[in-house]
Copies of this chain bind each other. A is one copy, B any other.
């Protein structure tokens, strides 16, 4: 349960793990045993109280997170027991979910975490950003920050599939190696110097003199460095600014926005909610790319189950995840990662743990 709203960096005392009884579902509800949940950067905004792009999570309630689970009890025949479902009632092991808030997953060939990653919100964010906002085309020079992250690693691969030259940045040598493995033409670790110098070197490596697209996941120094070298008619897709999420005071913005005039460039923020009509084209294309092996899903599984989910969230914000950060919530058969809990029968209450 969320107990307080941090301004700077969140701490352990902002949440509390509690045991509650999860009863049988009332009509129109199902009970779900959660298998895996997602931790995502946007959650930082909903934890803080500032009214920004999404409703804050209420205090003293379990938070929400995209989650995959198996239906263990159902009071709606359209979502029968045994269904694999996607819903938002994460941060708990068992959940009572309105059946209308469940999406029954039919492609059983995907790993559950894939529904949270390349086929989930981060994948669709990457898709919309590439196709509708940045409008990446063959021949574009594309720079993507946080390119080993859930969104960035997908952006990188979509851009390559679209015929672009791609430069990626990330925060560790391992991530840089992954970015190159995923097909980037150049990559750098932003700890190795001023971003503007590293970006210029990467551009030289690929023979580029400017950027047609910058897909921004971080803001701050990266954004200013990218604006320095945009080409005419460049597009900057603003997806998130992880560099500021844990900052209690506003950071100065890029000092070179006048370049947007000189280069007739467009900088545009976007949220998925405006692009839900893209879901079908997105799912079809991504499923095809996954099937033919053109797109590689990347996940990091954090251990500790629901009791470790908050640390997983903070670790993701700190850059300790590669690709999609997920937290398995079900009892680990090996008993190492998650606490073992007694599971009630189909009609008896389960325990729900929420931190």
Residues of A at under 8 Å CB distance from B? 45, 52-53, 219, 223-224, 233, 238-241, 244, 250-271, 274
Which residue in B233, B261, B264, B265 is a CB contact (below 8 Å) of A241?
Answer: B261
Q: List 23 A-B residue pairs with CB atoms under 8 Å apart, sorted by A's residue number.
A: A45-B262, A52-B258, A52-B259, A53-B261, A53-B262, A53-B263, A219-B258, A238-B257, A238-B260, A241-B258, A241-B261, A250-B256, A252-B253, A253-B253, A254-B257, A260-B269, A261-B269, A261-B271, A262-B269, A262-B271, A263-B269, A264-B269, A265-B268
Whether A269 touches B265, Cβ cut-off 8 Å, given contacts A238-B257, A241-B257, A257-B241, is: yes
Return chain B residues, CB-CB under 8 Å to A255.
250-253
Smallest CB gap from A273: residue in B: B264
Alpha-carbon gap, A260 to B266, bound state (A): 12
Return chain B residues, CB-CB under 8 Å to A269.
259-266
- Output the residue of A52, A224, A239, A269 with the most chain B CB within 10 A: A269
Whether A262 touches B223, Cβ cut-off 8 Å, given contacts A241-B257, A252-B252, is: no
Alpha-carbon gap, A268 to B263, bound state (A): 10
Alpha-carbon gap, A265 to B269, bound state (A): 5
| Known interface pairs A253-B256, A260-B269; 11 further A-B residue pairs with C-beta atoms within 8 A, sorted by A's residue number | A45-B262, A52-B262, A223-B257, A251-B255, A253-B254, A259-B269, A262-B269, A264-B270, A264-B271, A264-B274, A266-B267
Tell whether, in the assembled complex, residue B267 and residue A267 are in contact, meaning their CB atoms are under 8 Å apart. Answer: yes
Tell whether, in the assembled complex, residue B268 and residue A266 are in contact, meaning their CB atoms are under 8 Å apart. Answer: yes
Alpha-carbon gap, A292 to B193, bound state (A): 61
Return chain B residues, CB-CB under 8 Å to A223.
257
Return chain B residues, CB-CB under 8 Å to A52.
258-259, 262
Smallest CB gap from A223: residue in B: B257
| Shortest CB distance A236–B (Å) | 9
Return chain B residues, CB-CB under 8 Å to A262.
45, 52-53, 269, 271
- Output the residue of A224, A257, A259, A271 with the most chain B CB within 10 A: A257
Alpha-carbon gap, A262 to B269, bound state (A): 7
Alpha-carbon gap, A271 to B265, bound state (A): 10
Alpha-carbon gap, A223 to B256, bound state (A): 13
Alpha-carbon gap, A277 to B18, bound state (A): 65
Return chain B residues, CB-CB under 8 Å to A260.
238, 267-269
Tell whether, in the assembled complex, residue B263 and residue A257 are in contact, meaning their CB atoms are under 8 Å apart. Answer: no
Smallest CB gap from A237: residue in B: B261
